[in-house]
Amino acid sequence: MAGLSQVAWTWQIKDMRHLFLAAVAAASFALPIQAQDPAPILSPGEIAHAAKADEWIAIAPSDLLIMDLAPDAKGKPRRVVIQLMPAPFSQGWIGNIRKLAAAHWWDGTSINRVQDNYVVQWGDATEKKALPAGLVGVAEAEYVVSRSDAAGWDAARAMQSSAPIIPDPYAASQALWGWPVGHGKDGELWPVHCYGMVGVGRNMSPDTGNGAELYTVIGHAPRHLDRNIALVGRAISGIEHLSSLPRGTGALGFYEDAAERVPIQSIRLASELPAEDQPRFEYLSTESDSFARYADARQNRRDPFFIKPAGGADICNIPVPVRAVRAK
């Protein structure tokens, strides 16, 4: 190994922060990199940023769940926005969640569990709060969607994705219709547990949970939960208000002291808010040309920081780009 002089090191240290900034910008959705040749190699984030307007799909306010936690210790508001999955995925549980939100059932409940590299979980810590009428039980069969169900949902878009299908140790995986999904050998599809995905806590099988007890992933993708618990959406804004909470010191990260729980002020569908108060988000169509280029760039990083492109990426490392059109 060649030794570098102290002078060289001093220079490197001086510029390290600046250049590490530039370097990591290429590794995430961040600042544009200064192109250094006439045909710039775009980072994945830059490719998404440059996508055409009609490649972005608006998320309906009725598919946005707005969770307002109590303000933090400095009085700053803490809002988490969750996008609910569209048909054909998990609609039984999502129907329950719409009813729970409409009934304002979560207001006054709390975040009760924060387990490092795993999940944040919320719901009624007293386990005594009466549920609204009309919730349904959902069968385990609904953890997966058959190919025919899926095609029936939107024949024009079904199975026409240009996004790659990537074999991984769990399943052939793909970004499809805006979501990370697994493909079964018999043509089933199911959503997968990536960072930020929101799921439904449940009892032992055959119970599948009713949607009142929810969790979000705050660590490495726990893909062993795929097809074993219902996924209903993903946090698209404000997940840092969950992922940075103190870890619970009880078993499985439950808070041992009730005072540690983080109060939930309210959970609402955005469609219940006055139109001018509704946040607006869009996601990059996973069936678009720009998404195909973005996915390729996530698999083969060619932007300046990288020396050896990986030659692949798992589905949770190709997150679907989401942008706020109007933050609220």
Q: If DSSP codes are grouped into helix, strand and coil, which group holds residue 102?
A: helix
By the rule CB under 8 A, 163 interacts with a copy of itself: no
By the rule CB under 8 A, 313 interacts with a copy of itself: yes
CB under 8 A: which stretch of 99-107, 151-159, 205-213, 283-291 binds a copy of itself?
205-213
Which residue's CB is nearer to a copy of itself, number 83 or number 115? Answer: 115
Length of the chain: 328
By the rule CB under 8 A, 219 interacts with a copy of itself: yes
Closest separation between CB of residue 254 and a copy of itself, Å? 7
Q: Which residue from 58, 70, 116, 155 is in contact with a copy of itself, where contact means CB under 8 A? A: 116
Neighbours of 146 (CB within 10 A): 15
Q: What does the DSSP assignment read for 257-291?
A: SGGGSEEEEEEEEGGGS-GGG--EEEEE-TTSHHH
Q: Which of residues 256-295 bind a copy of itself (CB under 8 A)?
A: none
Closest separation between CB of residue 66 and a copy of itself, Å? 19
Q: Which residue from 50, 139, 159, 324 is in contact with a copy of itself, where contact means CB under 8 A? A: 139
CB under 8 A: which stretch of 53-61, 190-198, 255-263, 271-279 binds a copy of itself?
190-198
Which residue's CB is nearer to a copy of itself, number 61 or number 192? Answer: 192
Q: Which residue has the tokens 């199975």?
A: 159
Which residues of 115-243 form beta strands (DSSP E)?
119-123, 166-167, 172-176, 179-183, 189-191, 197-200, 214-217, 231-237
Closest separation between CB of residue 64 and a copy of itself, Å? 20
Closest separation between CB of residue 157 and a copy of itself, Å? 25
Separation between Cα atoms, residue 217 and residue 193, nearest integer Å: 7
By the rule CB under 8 A, 327 interacts with a copy of itself: no
Structure-token pair, residue 36 = 């250094």
Q: Which of residues 4-43 bind a copy of itself (CB under 8 A)?
A: 4, 6, 8-10, 12-17, 19-25, 27-28, 30-31
Neighbours of 49 (CB within 10 A): 16
CB 218 within 8 A of CB 86: no
Q: Which residue from 37, 156, 205, 276 is in contact with a copy of itself, where contact means CB under 8 A? A: 205
- In sequence order, the 6+-apart residues with CB closer than 8 A to the CB of 62 are 269, 270, 271
Q: Which residue from 223, 234, 261, 268 is in contact with a copy of itself, where contact means CB under 8 A? A: 223
By the rule CB under 8 A, 310 interacts with a copy of itself: yes
Q: If DSSP codes are grouped into helix, strand and coil, which group holds residue 297?
A: helix
Beta strand pairing status for 262-269 and 110-114?
A: antiparallel
Structure-token pair, residue 159 = 């199975």
